[in-house]
Amino acid sequence: MWCLGSWVTNCLTVLWVRSSTISGPYLQRLELLKCLAIPRARNLVTHTLASVAFSSDEEVVWHGATELFKSNTIDGVGDIDVDDEDDNEVNESLIIGEMDHAADAHRTDLMTMTRFVLNEQSKYPESRGDFTILLSHIVLGCKFVCSAVNKAGLANIIGLAGETNVQGEEQKKLDVLSNEVFIKALVSSGRTCILVSEEDEEATFVEASKRGRYCVVFDPLDGSSNIDCGVSIGTIFGIYMVNDSHEPTLDEVLQPGKKMLAAGYCMYGSSCTFVLSTGSGVHGFTLDPSLGEFILTHPDIKIPKKGKIYSVNEGNAKNWDGPTTKYVEKCKFPEDGSSPKSLRYIGSMVADVHRTLLYGGVFLYPGDKKSPNGKLRVLYEVFPMSFLMEQAGGQAFTGRQRALDLVPKKIHERSPIFLGSYDDVEEIKALYAAEEKKE
């Protein structure tokens, strides 16, 4: 007799592991558990993993897991005996009710993000699975933020938190929440050393007992001026590896973007999309809300070599320099008889870059007379997006140099940026080169 209640208890026992001790094989085992066709039990496993990952305190984890177990038991999961005739009816409708979707019938071999990264990891026998663990914590943060963004209007968490961030911008509640979630998830992964967040003036140095080899630079909720009107926003991140995790210094993150090991973003839009590069191409995953898993939907994204769209805040045009002005003029009035480019500007970097990556064209946030360094931050906006563009076959340029060659001097430094299709950025580079010759 197989009792589902004890099966769930077994799952919880398996999950009774501190997040810092989760290893690659352990994640594989979890994947297996989650793939089992018992939706409620699978959700329980997923949620329990979330509580494990968010706390490094064993008491808190155990208490959280027990509470979760209890609350899931109340609606009839924990005590269903599959072999008991009376319970069978409930159980079958429970399972069949949740599985009876045409789409589910076709889903037979799902490439989840964890599976994808584990596959990649298996190419490097010396790999200890640390990166996979780190990524699973970033993904967890993104799922949490995605859920919070979706519920924002309902839960009344939209609105000002009454604080300003280091850029002098008003902070929204969702920004604060997202930042806390990511900091906690990253620290509790036991794999990070230094964290740089757009929301925090100073970098976070992880205490020695929880320290790992990675530095994560991130903007937990980019495009926050769009929160209140429901426009797509996102999380952007880049990952470096430290040389010395015993005595880490800020120099570990003040590195050129080309030294990043991985970069990506998660877009909270009409669907939740996670785009990742670990240095061998760019891959896109879409969150399947019914599974709670990111599924590979856009393998090996390549940006079109030339695009038909330009994306810029034209409201700043009066302050632009010569090459930017000339380029935008050429987009509207091409001299070679070709059709003008279309203008698309959302004002949310993740959404504008995502469209550029898929449809081609160019996204620019240039410097101008008022703000010579533009608006976008080098470490957690310019670098990750430039890394992705190059990995997808495009280019990223600052107006002076390849964006990924830039060496930041401060963690919140800004830089002008022109990124997108190879040929379009080439045109912009030619205009800046011509300007330089004149000087």
How far is it, in rounded angstroms, from Cα 135 to Cα 129? 10
Please report how close the Cβ of residue 125 comes to ligand FDP at its closest, in angstroms.
40
Cβ nearer to ligand FDP, comparing 289 with 347 = 347
Q: Does 224 bind ligand FDP (CB under 6 A)?
A: yes
In terms of Cα–Cα distance, which of 365, 391, 368 is closest to 378? 365
**Torsion sign (Cα): 177, 183, 187, 192:** positive
Q: Minimum Å distance from CB 225 to ligand FDP? A: 3
Give the total residue count for the chain. 439
Our CB check for ligand FDP shows the closer of 106 and 370 to be: 370
Q: How many CB atoms lie within 10 A of CB 127?
A: 14
Applying CB under 6 A, the span of 154-162, 282-290, 348-356, 396-404 interacting with ligand FDP comes to: 348-356
In angstroms, what is the minimal distance from the CB of 313 to ligand FDP?
3
Which span (200-208, 217-225, 261-269, 396-404) binds ligand FDP, by CB under 6 A? 217-225
Span near ligand FDP by CB under 6 A; candidates 22-30, 218-226, 258-266, 281-289: 218-226
Q: Does 222 bind ligand FDP (CB under 6 A)?
A: yes
Q: Which is nearer to ligand FDP, 191 or 355 (CB)?
A: 355
**Looking at beta carbons only, is 199 or 293 nearer to ligand FDP?**
199
> How many residues bind ligand FDP, per CB under 6 A?
13
Q: Is 229 exposed, middle or buried (0-12, 13-18, 19+ CB in 10 A)?
A: exposed
Edge to edge, the sheet with strand 204-205 lists: 204-205, 192-197, 214-222, 233-241, 262-268, 272-277, 283-288, 293-298
Number of H helices, E strands in the chain: 13, 15
**Is 356 a residue that touches ligand FDP (CB under 6 A)?**
no
**Rounded distance between C-alpha atoms, residue 392 and residue 384, angstroms:** 12
CB of 347 to ligand FDP, least distance (A): 5
Q: In angstroms, give the least distance from the CB of 366 to ligand FDP.
A: 11
For the chain, the distance separating the N- and C-terminal CA atoms, rounded to the nearest angstrom, is 84
Amino acid at 392: A
Residue 175 in contact with ligand FDP, rule: CB under 6 A: no
Does 355 bind ligand FDP (CB under 6 A)? Our answer is no
We find the least distance from the C-beta atom of residue 169 to ligand FDP, in angstroms, to be 7
Shortest Cβ 94–ligand FDP spacing (Å) = 43
Smallest Cα–Cα separation from 215: which of 249, 181, 164, 170?
249
Query: Of the candidates 20, 43, 40, which has an alpha carbon nearest to the alpha carbon of residue 30?
Result: 43
Residues ≥6 apart with Cβ < 8 Å to 237: 138, 216, 217, 218, 219, 263, 264, 265, 380, 384
Stretch of 51-59, 224-232, 251-259, 287-295 contacting ligand FDP, by CB under 6 A: 224-232
Query: Can you tell me which of 225, 249, 280, 338 binds ligand FDP, judged by CB under 6 A?
Result: 225
Neighbour tally for 361: CB within 10 Å: 26
Q: Where are the beta strands (DSSP E) in 85-232?
A: 160-164, 170-172, 192-197, 204-205, 214-222
Token couple for 314: 């034209």
* Residue 396 lies near ligand FDP (rule: CB under 6 A): no
Give yes or no for residue 313 binding ligand FDP (CB under 6 A). Answer: yes
User: How many whole angstroms separate alpha carbon 115 and alpha carbon 105?
Assistant: 20
Q: State the nearest-atom distance from the C-beta of 272 to ligand FDP, in Å.
A: 17
Binding of ligand FDP by 176 (CB under 6 A)? no
CA distance 25 to 22: 8
With CB under 6 A as the contact rule, the residue among 203, 266, 376, 411 that binds ligand FDP is 376
- Which residue, 49 or 217, is less far from ligand FDP as judged by CB? 217
Contact window for ligand FDP (CB under 6 A) among 10-18, 107-115, 123-131, 222-230: 222-230
Written as one letter, the residue type at 157 is I
Select from 33, 254, 349, 428 the one that contacts ligand FDP (CB under 6 A). Answer: 349
* Per CB under 6 A, 348 contacts ligand FDP: yes
Output the smallest distance, CB 221 to ligand FDP, in A.
8
Q: Which CB, 79 or 228, lies closer to ligand FDP?
A: 228
Asked if residues 39 and 95 have their Cβ atoms less than 8 Å apart, the reply is: yes
User: Rule CB under 6 A: is residue 347 a binding residue for ligand FDP?
Assistant: yes
Catalog residues that contact ligand FDP under the rule CB under 6 A.
222-226, 313, 347-349, 352, 375-376, 381
